Structures are given as C-alpha cells and as structure tokens.
C-alpha cells in the first residue's frame, strides 16, 4: 500500500472498522444477495484479504466495505442485509462521504453497482456525482442448460472432448469435502510451476494464497466442489458457493488437462447442482483470454456493473 492507503486505513481502523478476515466470515453470511443481482459474496472478499486489505463496518444495517488494493484508488462496496428492509441510501452515502473527507480522500468511489440499483445511487443528493460503466467488473451469468449442453459451433470441440472424457478409464470425479479440500493446493502448485507469477498477480493477487484461505473457511453447507483425478492424482478442481436455490457463484477452477475445467462444470451442474438455475462466473477483470473464454460459453446475460463517484 502507498502512504495515502496506509494513512486512510489507519484512520478507518480508528473509526471502528474491522478487518475482512476469517473471523468476520460467519457474520457476513447474512449479506448474501438473494436474486440475480450478485455483487460479491462474503467468501470472495475474505479469500482476497491479503491483497485488497479490506475493512468493513455495519452502518444502519448496511455492510460497508472499503478496499485498499495497491494498484487501484481506494474504493467501497455497499451491501443490503437479506432478512430486513434496508434503510434509505442517502444517510449511508452522507456518512461515508464525511468519513472519506476526514480520511483525506478526494472522493467516495463505489464499485460493483448493478444496473437495477443505479437510479437509486443517482438520486442521492448533496454531492457531485459521476457514473461510468465498468465492463471489467460486469458479471457473466449462465443457465444450467447452457453449461450442460454447450450448444453452438464454438463449443463443438468441447462437446467432443467431454464425450471422450466420459469414456476414459483413467479419469474420475470425486466430491470435495472438508477432509480433502487441501488437495486444491497440489493442483495449484503444479499450475503455478508452469505460469508466470505476474500473470496470476495481475488479477486480485496471489491465487495460491487465496486458495489457502478458502481451504481454511471451506464449509460443506455453503460451498460445493469437485476434484478431477487422473489415476490417483488430483489434476483439477472447481469450487462454488450455492448462494440460494437459484444461483451459485464460481470462485476457483483449475485443470491440468485440456478442457478439464469445462468437464468439471458439466459434471457439477449435471450431478451436484442440477437444481440450481444460474451460475455466476463473476467478472473477467479486463483480461482478453478470460473474456473470450467466458463469452464462448454463451452467457445467459451480462450483469452490467458501474462505478459511482461522489465528490466531497
């Protein structure tokens, strides 16, 4: 973190903000979004804690999080609780603007604001406001049918490979449990040995560190995962969170085999999450390869996200 980030972080800690860490995880579960609007889950924040240096505070029953990513301006997210009606947005924005001004920040920047909520943020008065669409933060939503059928010319070879996989005696799928979730690190270590670390860190940070955290908080009542084995060696995995009866959220997936990741998605939806209607593949963060991959899987829709900046 640069000097401004460090000073601001120290200020917010003095103001009663707490670290987004493993201890906070159970408390933050109540702030899952319960519709197609899926900004982020608590798991996503916690696993990247060592890179984004997030803090949080509950203000008028909203979860307000502030992040200090080393390569970005300080930014915030606001989440409504799932059980109770939310308070009006105006006083929340006023409170955060005052805090930012005291911290010496030039503005209040909010990220991951869904189309459906944009009008509500624009209606907030007393502040200069700037809004912009952020395609890098927009989320890819897929239907169960699209991911298990993989229809279309672009997925022709994926369908052929899946058929071959199904008939290979050396390939097997095993459920992820609290006892074996640590095998993710074996796959990740092998993956990392073939990759440039700067590529991994250009996303949110060191993915291996994030995997260690999700292993620590893995809960079979919340998370669902599969391993891809070649013989007796784990060579791929996928970890999802079933947010509700309609939607699941993809966190991580890796495979040492060609299109093995797609194979895991196919099995996950066919056998384990067959009653879930949608899957959120989250954002592509502006990476061309990741964007192309997600588009080729025929998303049901893009959940467009915006940045809103309030002047102080």
Q: Give me the mean pLDDT over the 178-204 stretch.
A: 79
Q: Domain check: are 125 and 155 in the same one?
A: no
DSSP 225-272: EEEEEETTEEEEEEEEEE-SSSEEEEEEEEESSTTHHHHHHHHIIIII
Look at residue 298 and tell me if it is in a domain: no
Look at residue 290 and tell me if it is in a domain: no
Q: Domain check: are 22 and 104 in the same one?
A: yes
pLDDT band at 10 (very low <50, low <70, confident <90, very high): very high
Alpha-carbon torsion angle 66, 69, 71, 77, nearest 10? -30
CATH number, position 276? 3.40.630.30
Distances (CA, A) of 235 to 67, 175, 292: 34, 14, 24
User: In whole angstroms, what is the distance from residue 303 CA to residue 305 CA?
Assistant: 6
Task: Quote the pLDDT of residue 34.
Answer: 45
Q: Domain check: are 132 and 158 in the same one?
A: no
Q: Domain check: are 134 and 146 in the same one?
A: no
Q: Domain check: are 122 and 255 in the same one?
A: no
User: In whole angstroms, what is the distance from residue 113 CA to residue 5 CA?
Assistant: 23
Tell me the longest C-alpha to C-alpha distance in the chain.
Answer: 66
Which tens digit of pLDDT belongs to each residue from 129-156?
999 999 988 989 999 988 888 888 878 8
Q: Domain check: are 223 and 245 in the same one?
A: yes
Q: Is the pLDDT of residue 85 over 70?
A: no
pTM across the whole model: 0.86
Task: Quote the pLDDT of residue 38.
Answer: 44
Task: Quote the pLDDT of residue 283.
Answer: 87
Look at residue 8 and tell me if it is in a domain: yes
Look at residue 12 and tell me if it is in a domain: yes
Distances (CA, A) of 59 to 15, 21, 119, 267: 12, 19, 21, 41
Pairing of strands 75-79, 55-59: unpaired
Q: Domain check: are 162 and 243 in the same one?
A: yes
Look at residue 297 and tell me if it is in a domain: no
Q: Domain check: are 159 and 272 in the same one?
A: yes
Q: Domain check: are 89 and 209 in the same one?
A: no
Q: Which residue range forms the structural domain that includes residue 153?
A: 139-282
Look at residue 129 and tell me if it is in a domain: yes
Look at residue 48 and tell me if it is in a domain: yes
């Amino acid at each position: 973190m640069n000097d401004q980030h460090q000073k601001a972080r120290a200020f917010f800690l003095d103001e009663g903000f707490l670290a987004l860490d493993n201890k906070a995880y159970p408390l933050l579960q109540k702030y899952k979004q319960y519709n197609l609007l899926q900004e982020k889950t608590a798991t996503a924040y916690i696993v990247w804690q060592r890179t984004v240096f997030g803090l949080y505070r509950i203000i008028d029953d909203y979860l307000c999080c502030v992040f200090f990513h080393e390569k970005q301006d300080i930014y915030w997210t606001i989440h409504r609780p799932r059980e109770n009606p939310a308070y009006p947005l105006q006083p929340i924005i006023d409170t955060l603007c005052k805090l930012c001004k005291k911290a010496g920040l030039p503005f209040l920047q909010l990220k991951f604001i869904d189309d459906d909520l944009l009008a509500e943020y624009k209606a907030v008065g007393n502040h200069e406001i700037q809004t912009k669409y952020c395609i890098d933060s927009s989320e890819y939503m897929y239907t169960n049918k699209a991911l298990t059928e993989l229809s279309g010319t672009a997925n022709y070879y994926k369908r052929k490979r899946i058929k071959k996989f199904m008939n290979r005696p050396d390939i097997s799928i095993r459920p992820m449990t609290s006892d074996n979730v640590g095998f993710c690190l074996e796959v990740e270590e092998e993956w990392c040995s073939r990759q440039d670390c700067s590529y991994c860190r250009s996303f949110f940070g060191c993915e291996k560190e994030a995997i260690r955290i999700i292993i620590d908080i893995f809960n079979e009542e919340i998370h669902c995962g599969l391993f891809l084995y070649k013989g007796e060696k784990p060579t791929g995995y996928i970890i999802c969170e079933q947010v509700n009866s309609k939607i699941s959220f993809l966190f991580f997936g890796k495979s040492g085999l060609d299109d093995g990741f797609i194979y895991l998605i196919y099995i996950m939806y066919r056998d384990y999450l067959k009653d879930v209607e949608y899957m959120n593949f989250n954002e592509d963060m502006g990476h061309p390869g990741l964007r192309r991959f997600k588009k080729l899987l025929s998303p049901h829709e893009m959940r467009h996200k915006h940045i809103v900046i309030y002047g102080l």
